[in-house]
Amino acid sequence: MAQMGRPRTFDRDAAITQAMHLFWEHGYDATSLSQLKARIGGGISAPSFYAAFGSKQALFHEVIERYLDTHGRVTESLFDTTLPPRKAIELTLRRSAKMQCEPGHPRGCLVALGLMSACSEESKAISEPLARTRNVNRAGLVACVERAVSTGELTKTVIPEVLATTFDSFMLGLSTLARDGVPAARLDTAVDQIMALWDSLNASIGRECGGIADEPGERKSD
């Protein structure tokens, strides 16, 4: 009679969370199988690891799914068309800044930092889910700006892709600042400053002040 295999001595769900924190802290390339086994615990052997997860690459894909279903949901407001465009962007930036500085997990954003320095052929091949997520978020920012322009909230001189890139750059920059230990309160105050850019392009303000909403070359008479 064939002897039954040794039962798992670890919680698979908890193991994915532990692996997520490890990839989040060190990135894909710098995270070794030995580190993953040690973090998962339970005396897991290499054969048991591969039996449970298939490969390091397959585990990373599970980690990304876990991250996007939890911490990565901070960008959901970008796609909520019931929110005013400005509010949608502001909520995303504030929630992202807060999440990236929370205790209980590495600082920064896994989507921004997990494979930005991908150098191996393997890591380049599996970076697509992260790049796709960043592209989806960029599209969400563009859509918010387009809505604001179409409703007259922002001036028609605004180029949605350009303004969206400004907010996208700010959001990606939060990751490095959070990783470097910049306090959450300072990042939140920085959100006030970047949203002031939106306000400076507000069409109604421009009309009231006779500024940016005026036709080129026109000036208010004294």
Task: Write the CATH number for 158.
Answer: 1.10.357.10
Torsion of CA 113, 119, 125, 126, to 10 degrees: -30
**pLDDT for position 5:** 46
Distance CA 21, CA 15 (A): 10
Neighbours of 134 (CB within 10 A): 17
Q: Coil, helix or strand for 3?
A: coil
Looking at residue 30, its pLDDT comes to 87
Distance set, CA 94 to CA 111, 156, 182 (Å):
17, 27, 14
- What is the spatial distance between Cα 218 and Cα 144, in angstroms, rounded to a whole number? 29
pTM of the entire predicted model: 0.84
Same domain, 109 and 54: no
Q: Are residues 125 and 187 in the same domain?
A: yes
Do 80 and 59 belong together in one domain? no
Contacts of 63 (CB under 8 A, 6+ apart): 16, 19, 20, 23, 110
Q: What's the pLDDT tens digit per position in 156-194?
A: 999 999 999 999 999 999 999 999 999 999 999 999 999
Residues 21, 87: one domain? Answer: no
The answer as to whether 217 is a domain residue is no
| Confidence at 99, pLDDT banded by 50, 70, 90 | very high
Domain match, 33 and 115 both:
no
